[in-house]
A and B are shown apart, each in its own frame.
Chain A
Amino acid sequence: MQKHTITAIICLAGALVASAIAGASFLSMRTPDIIVRGPGVTEVKMLSDWFPGIKGTAGDTEVYVMKGADDGESMLVLGGTHPNEPSGHLSAILLIENAIPKTGTLYVIPRANNSGFTVNDPQEGSPQSYTIQTPSGPRWFRYGSRATNPIDQWPDPNVYIHASSGQTLSGSETRNLNRGYPGRPDGTLTEKVCYGIVQLIKQQNVTITVDLHEASPEYPVINAIVAHPKAMQLASDTVLGLEMQDIKISLEPSPVNLRGLSHRELGDFTDTLPLLMETANASQGRLRGRTDAALVLTGKDKWYVRAAKLGRLYVPYDEKGHPIEERVGRHVTAIGEILNSWNLENPDKPIEIENLPGYEDLQTKGVGAYLLPIPAK
């Protein structure tokens, strides 16, 4: 054998070994985190029950149905629209494992972009998961990609054209669930998932839809609630209610010219009242330092502290960071406040949900105190 053939074999072997090690790690992302059925869960359906077009695809995702004793209005909570924004995913899980609806129905989709939970964004250095201590032991949760896994939707076009408005965005936004609404039954996988969520809202006559997000601390819309015009009254009542609890949140109207987002299209295309909420997540920002599971959980980051001193941020930032308890607490408390505001205005058709973790309790006891033990198989 010639010398260059031997070196070629050695090089190829090296490539195969690296591929095998990394490939095993990438494949491990396909194992989903475990969500325990709480006492309020009456049924676990799949989104394909409302739109069969996604059955058997990576986009199909669990819908936790939590029916109260009395029929009434309903609320849909979307967690994990962006799987790299953990407080949305975790808040949805806390609702599933704790909430007990009395009147009306709560629908929770904890992994709205299910495909995005199976991959990490390249060049972001993201952790694959983070672990929370609970009284019954540690529980881990998935940290995913902002967008649909390219394995499930590829290639991206040069330019993403939003189907119903013609608005153009950079090609990678094709895989962004929150740019795809109202979706298309014959579109990309991401558009099909959007379409499925719209079908659920239409067929179940969902009264209020809350889309849970996080934003990087340098992004202007943060610690905010974004509302479609027809949900404006509900949102401003909610902001007042949260201020009474010393939680500062800003109210942003849904921009008319920014299309494909849940707070715009769900309001235009269905009868639901759409709201979107943002908390502060350092692990998705461009200014962050070392990126790992600890950053996801604590938000402690020296570069963000420095950027805050330079006046570059839209949230206060100090050495205490923005821990996951605070971010989940904001989301869960705001959901409670949205329900309060709705019930005050609509006493004849309330949505009453009990046993939501309180903001102060979450800060003192931690998120883990509200996570159930994983049942033995």
Chain B
Amino acid sequence: MFFIYLAILAVVLALTVWVLFDTKKLSLQVTAAMVIVPLLLRLLMIK
């Protein structure tokens, strides 16, 4: 189950990065960057 959830998290993270590069709104980009941090650290199994 752990790795299934990491896979789901990876999907959410990938979509977040996609939004970051696709949107033209700076506010949305900053928000996406904030969301990336915890998702990335969990995906790397750091925290």
Q: Does the CB pair B30–A11 fall under 8 Å?
A: yes
Q: Does the CB pair B36–A15 fall under 8 Å?
A: yes
Within the assembled complex, what's the spacing in Å between the Cα atoms of A14 and B36?
A: 10
Within 8 A of B (CB), among A1-33: 4-5, 7-8, 11-12, 14-16, 18-19, 22-23, 26-27
> Separation in Å of the B26 CB from the closest CB of chain A?
6
Q: Does the CB pair B41–A22 fall under 8 Å?
A: yes
Within the assembled complex, what's the spacing in Å between the Cα atoms of A153 and B34?
A: 25
Total interface residues on B, CB under 8 Å, equals 23
Q: Does the CB pair B47–A15 fall under 8 Å?
A: no
Using A15-B34, A26-B47 as known contacts, say yes or no to A8 and B20 having CB atoms under 8 A apart: yes
**Which residue from B20, B40, B42 sits with its C-beta under 8 Å from A11?**
B20
- B contact residues around A7 at 8 Å (CB): 26, 29
Total interface residues on A, CB under 8 Å, equals 21
Q: Does the CB pair B32–A154 fall under 8 Å?
A: no
Chain B's closest residue to A3 (CB) is B24
Within the assembled complex, what's the spacing in Å between the Cα atoms of A107 and B3?
A: 36
Q: Does the CB pair A23–B33 fall under 8 Å?
A: no
> Separation in Å of the B22 CB from the closest CB of chain A?
8
- B contact residues around A153 at 8 Å (CB): 2
**Which residue from B1, B5, B36, B45 sits with its C-beta under 8 Å from A12?**
B36
Question: B: which residues have CB within 8 A of A?
Answer: 1-2, 5, 17, 20-21, 23-24, 26, 29-30, 32-34, 36-37, 40-42, 44-47
Please give me the 9 A-B residue pairs with the lowest Cβ-Cβ distance, nearest first.
Answer: A11-B33, A15-B33, A26-B47, A15-B36, A4-B24, A23-B46, A8-B21, A11-B29, A155-B5
CB pairs A–B below 8 angstroms (13 shown): A4-B23, A5-B21, A15-B34, A19-B36, A19-B37, A23-B41, A23-B44, A26-B41, A26-B46, A151-B46, A151-B47, A155-B1, A155-B2
A23-B46, A26-B41, A155-B5 known, 17 other contacts, Cβ within 8 Å: A4-B24, A11-B29, A11-B32, A11-B33, A12-B33, A15-B33, A15-B34, A19-B36, A19-B37, A19-B40, A23-B41, A26-B47, A151-B45, A151-B46, A151-B47, A154-B2, A154-B5
